[in-house]
Homo-oligomer: A and B are copies of this chain.
């Protein structure tokens, strides 16, 4: 066991990045623009402003500015839970008997339990700066809702969360954390919005969906003066804020002269993956360096690996702009899967374009394999990982085992996005041996894709 590299590489507080990196600036093939779903024309700032905070809308549309200053207030907040460590997984390596060096960037050591806080605090800040009363959002698994509640409590603005009804009922503890931070949580579909009332009438007793919760949150933002809508993934502004993950990871590794051969991240909407790989992808785009980057999706929701690169709605309710992305079709209903944060039909436009241009690979993992890897990780490295993050663990272990066969001392870096403390129903299913793997058929995916808009 090498003693030169510590178990945890921490940057100093004054080494936390003071700028976010916008990978789009270095892309020759820019992500395709968001389109107005009625006119199919590229969206303009003034069309986004009624829904999004103005500064965030500007960030969303800006694909040329390489760096954005991180405002001082956000830097202060970052100092409460950042820098997050790059951890050398000595104990996992030993258990695997691999010559590979495994590193993970751990984003779970904050009360939201995931990397979502990096963008939540930025979005709450710009809302506060604009003099808004509050923000609205939706949450499914609950990580984003929790992160946003914490951020809004910090800046003293109102936070209205529409929580998919089935999660509201099955995850009372997530709901309670948000309440403790002062957020108001409404089970969706609710009777508080037109769309909610309509859905409740049409489908009495429905337990809701993320698509419906998005529609309710957007309606509430638009109808209430002083409110805007915010989102925790998919958007390019979110990937911009999440670049803090990759910038810190790269700075920490650079301190010890470590170049990762393989970089692995789980991929749902792309917020973590996009953040982790940003500076590395930037080097590749500028022709300075080369890395093998692997996106890991759940086999039950394989947008990159089995979807199509076309224009589609970002939500099931078809109220959002159109985005060109790898998608399974906005009507695709992912089978039950405990990695709720990865159950999204599409993929960030940035990740989609980088994938299409060959800068990254994609693979899938089955749920039971993921929890097998999660359990091995928990027992050796001591951290109970989130189901989402465990997709990356699974592939990191696979790659480390390949090194065992070949004898290669590769450096593997993966993103450990969060902890599984609120996912113990999933662990119970796995421990009880009752967890199942769902795989969509080709026909299912084709049927869903057939309903995408013709652009």
Which of B12, B90, B153, B180 touches A431 (beta carbons < 8 Å)?
B180
Q: Mark A144-156, 1 if CB is under 8 A from B, else 0.
A: 0000001001100
The interface stretch among A280-288, A321-329, A373-381 is: A373-381
Q: Is A220's beta carbon under 8 Å from chain B?
A: no
Residues from chain B with Cβ under 8 Å of A172 in the complex: 424, 428
Is A455 close to B, CB under 8 A?
Answer: no
Residues of B within 8 A of A428 (CB): 172, 176, 179
Known contacts A8-B79, A79-B6, A422-B421: A111-B431 contact under CB 8 Å:
no
By Cβ-Cβ distance, the 5 closest A-B pairs, closest first, are: A173-B424, A7-B79, A153-B379, A6-B13, A176-B424
Q: How would residues 101 to 114 of chain A score, 1 for a CB under 8 Å from any chain B CB and 0 otherwise?
A: 00000000111010
Interface check A427, CB cutoff 8 A: yes
Give complex CA distance A67, B60 in Å. 58
Question: A293-310: contact bitstring with B at CB < 8 Å (1 yes, 0 no)?
Answer: 000000000000000000
Residues of B within 8 Å of A20, CB to CB, are: none
Knowing A13-B7, A176-B424, A424-B177 are in contact, say whether A182-B379 is a contact too (CB < 8 A): yes
CB pair A154–B379 under 8 Å, yes or no, is yes
| Residue of B10, B177, B180, B181 touching A10 (CB-CB under 8 A) | B10
Query: Is A81 interfacial (CB-CB < 8 Å)?
Result: yes
What is the number of residues of chain A that contact chain B, defined by CB distance less than 8 Å? Answer: 44
A7 to B382, CA, bound (A): 25
Q: Does A96 touch B at the CB level, under 8 Å?
A: no
Copies in the complex: 2
Main secondary structure of the interface of A (DSSP, over half): helix
| Residues of the B chain whose Cβ atoms lie less than 8 Å from the Cβ of A181 | 378-379
For A427, the chain B residues whose CB sits under 8 A away are 176-177, 179-180
CB distance from A433 to the nearest CB of B (A): 12
Q: How far is the CB of A277 from chain B (nearest CB, A)?
A: 26
A91 interface residue (CB < 8 Å to B): yes
Using known A-B contacts A6-B13, A7-B13, A109-B109, determine if residue A382 contacts B180 with beta carbons closer than 8 Å.
no
Residue of B nearest to A146 (CB): B384
Find chain B residues with CB under 8 A from A87 CB.
80
Output the residue of A76, A382, A383 with the most chain B CB within 10 A.
A382
A136 at the interface (CB under 8 A from B): no
Is A179's CB under 8 angstroms from B13's CB?
A: no
Give Cα A91–Cα B79 distance, bound, in whole angstroms.
11
**A150 and B111 contact, Cβ closer than 8 Å, known pairs A424-B173, A428-B172:** no
List residues of A whose CB falls within 8 A of some B CB. 6-8, 10, 12-13, 76-77, 79-81, 87, 90-91, 109-111, 113, 150, 153-154, 172-173, 176-177, 179-182, 375, 378-384, 419, 421-422, 424, 427-428, 431
20 cross-chain CB contacts under 8 A: A6-B79, A7-B80, A8-B13, A10-B10, A77-B382, A81-B382, A91-B154, A110-B382, A110-B383, A111-B419, A153-B378, A154-B380, A176-B427, A177-B424, A177-B427, A180-B384, A180-B427, A180-B431, A181-B379, A421-B421
Known: A91-B154, A110-B382, A176-B427. 7 other contacts (CB 8 A): A7-B79, A109-B109, A111-B421, A176-B424, A177-B424, A179-B427, A421-B421
Complex contact B182–A111 (CB within 8 A): no
Q: How far is the CA of A8 from the CA of B82 in the complex (A)?
A: 9
Q: Is the pair B378, A176 in contact by a Cβ cutoff of 8 Å?
A: no
A258 nearest CB across to chain B (Å): 16
Report the minimal beta-carbon distance from A431 to chain B, rounded to whole angstroms: 5
A76, A91, A113, A173 interface centre (most CB from chain B within 10 Å)? A173
Q: Are B79 and A176 in contact (CB under 8 A)?
A: no
Inter-chain contact A80/B111, CB cutoff 8 Å: no
Contacts of A177 in B (CB 8 A): 384, 424, 427
What residues of chain B lie closer than 8 Å to A421, measured between beta carbons? 111, 113, 173, 421-422
* B80 with A381: CB separation less than 8 A: yes
Taken together as a complex, chains A and B put the C-alpha atoms of A76 and B113 apart, in Å, by 25
* Complexed CA–CA distance, A12 and B8 (Å): 10
Inter-chain contacts of A90 with B (CB < 8 A):
76
Bound form: Cα–Cα A111–B419 in Å:
8
On chain B, the residues within 8 Å of A382 by CB distance are 77, 80-81, 110-111, 150, 154
